Amino acid sequence: MSRVKIIAVTGCPTGIAHTFMAAAALKKAAEKMPEDIEIKVETHGQAGIENALTEADIKEAAGVIIAADKDVNADRFHGKPVVDVPVAKALRGAEALIQQVLTNEAPIYKSKNGNTSQQEGTADRSSKTGNTIGRSIYKSLMNGVSHMLPFVVGGGVLIALSFLFGIYSADPEHETYNAFAAFLNDLGGLSFSLMVPILAAFIAESIGKRSGMVVGFIGGLLAVETGAGFLGGIIAGFAAGYLIVLLQVLLKKLPKSLDGLKMIFLFPVLGIFLIGAIMFPLMTPIASINEGMMTFLSSVQTSSPLLLGLIVGAMCAFDMGGPVNKAAYVTGTLLLSQGNLYFMAGVSAACIAPPLITAFAVLFYRKYFNKEERNAGMVNFILGSTHITEGAIPFAAKNPIVVLPILMLGSSIAAIMTYYFGVQVPAPHGGFLVLPVVTGALKWVFSILTGSIIAGIIFGLYRKKIAGGKPIEG
């Protein structure tokens, strides 16, 4: 039997865990298949593209698996059989994805311009790849979020570090003023100020490529200037992307010799003018909606910490790095950028808890887990402590109907207690590494450990029950 070559691309919004776990799952599944399969996986993580696919790889491949929640330049696979799914599907069913390629069930991917060198073209998102409009919108949004996160994390941690010198140490009028603290605060604030423009730029880039990115960035700046904030940035990003698509259609009949003029002059000039004309009238009502939403969330935070903690905890543990989790996390970063340090404290607690739940379950009920799970459980003490929620996914994937509610319970307990204690977390990531800048650090750790241990015991008892009380060998 001749060897079958398959290529794959994985990418998640944060580019930290899902990306590489999906790649590992595909490689492991390929080894288990009875067919002789050679697989090469390109990863789109925060460090950039690794193990990049070459033109020769693409040409030789029998098919392509795209397991990504962000733009991974699918246009280069024009004419190839492509299975295009969310990154989580590679974790749950890698063998099924490979089987689709082997049985010729994968549809032929068609880019809009019918070629593989589309630097400025857009893919036919609704063609035979099976993509829905909703999935296309989600991938574009997550492309923006993935590029925005480093600015949020970097800026947030620098601002948090400035608080080590005192809460008002960056204020020249205050007696605790420190020049270095002010420098850290200003630098972090500058990074934070780019959050919405970067989000809008890369939403638009996913739709309209490089020209879309330029117009989206300007749209994002308009959102910041007019107070429309995060919501305005999202709207500006999609508007900019589809404006470029519209301009590409309208200017399609221009001679090929004018392609350079279109990219350098016509698209930027017309795009920036049109995004301004569209967004300026919309920004005032969007700003009002944005302000109302932030006020509502802040009021719920103080009036009903039980309800808010329950919602945030359930969202963060529901899909652990997926769209529901990201909705809670992005809301937290948005409020953080506006000076609300309480909301993110609950979000962070709820994100830290799931890996710790599995870790405590393995620690307390070690004999009811196999060797691979025991090793993963111990590693999850590190992953959870550093805010990498995805470490719990392998445990949840085996029986999500039972395990996810347990994880959601533990995360909710952690978030509820965090809100009741009034903990403030000024950094959007880092887990226990940012404890020196957390207001109420011991209460925060106590909240997280309480939720994690309670749910960990429940999870361990569940594993004991399904094992019939007998230790698992190996």
Catalytic residues: 12
Q: Phi and psi dihedrals of 186, rounded to 5?
A: -65, -40
- Cα three-residue angle 339-229-348, rounded to 5 degrees: 45
Q: Phi and psi dihedrals of 466, rounded to 5?
A: -70, -20
Phi-psi region of 85 (alpha: psi -120 to 50; beta: other; left: phi over 0): beta
**Distance of alpha carbon 59 from alpha carbon 313, whole angstroms:** 46
Q: Provide the sign of the torsion angle of the four alpha carbons 445, 448, 450, 452, taken in this order.
A: negative
**Distance of alpha carbon 238 from alpha carbon 260, whole angstroms:** 24
Helix axes 441-466, 400-421, angle to 10 degrees: 160
**Distance of alpha carbon 228 from alpha carbon 288, whole angstroms:** 8
Strand partners, 39: 6
* Cβ contact 441:335 at 8 Å: no
